[in-house]
Amino acid sequence: MSSVILNGDTSGSVTVSVPAVAGTNTVTIPASTGTVMVSGNMPAFSAYNGSAQTFSNATFTKATFPTEEFDTNSNFASSTFTPTVAGYYQLSAGIGITATAPTNGILALYKNGSAYKRFTSINLSASLNNITPTGSITVYANGTTDYFEIYMYMAGTSPSTFGGQDLAWFTGSMIRTA
């Protein structure tokens, strides 16, 4: 049977050493309060839109991501990420767009139903009409009421988007607790 050895010093930290077959594994816990996170309780998700989505002209429209690749804590539904663990999250998104006439496009992150951060703002022309605006940001979520969505703004004649696992995606993961 394995044993757990606790060592401490006057710094206030405790080191837990668990013997392993091939050596020793050490976990150091700092002298602070909070929740210790392990991979089993850190929310993460990845979703994409595998088909084309057309956006309304000259208005911010919610992007849809109906296909989930993974959702470790069941926090992603209806193209919305609602983390249930308070902390800091890395969120990233991209939407491939095409337009038949000059247009402009803005990819934005919404928090709690309102514009929060703009990822990319692009002016398209006849020679530059296929592009994938992307963005990534670290955000705080309170773990109870905060939620995040991706919106796209398109202006011009015949604006549209194309989807696909590599062209329209929304991902996120917790990077630390509050």
Which CATH number applies to 40-177: 3.40.710.10, 2.40.50.140, 2.60.120.40, 3.90.226.30? 2.60.120.40
The domain ranges of the chain are 1-32, 40-177
pLDDT digits over 59-99, tens only? Answer: 999 999 999 999 999 999 999 999 999 999 999 999 988 77
Q: What is the mean pLDDT of the chain?
A: 83
Residue 125 has pLDDT above 80, yes or no: no
Strands (E) located in 21-167: 23-29, 44-48, 59-62, 67-71, 76-77, 80-81, 87-95, 97-99, 103-111, 114-124, 130-131, 134-141, 148-156, 159-161
Q: In the predicted model, what is the mean pLDDT of residues 38-65?
A: 87
pLDDT for res 38: 58
pLDDT digits over 154-173, tens only? Answer: 887 666 777 777 889 999 99
Q: How far apart are CA 118 and CA 152, in angstroms?
A: 10
pLDDT for res 64: 95
Model confidence, pTM: 0.79
Pair of tokens at residue 57: 């002209």
Cα-to-chain-centroid distance, residue 84: 14
pLDDT for res 1: 45
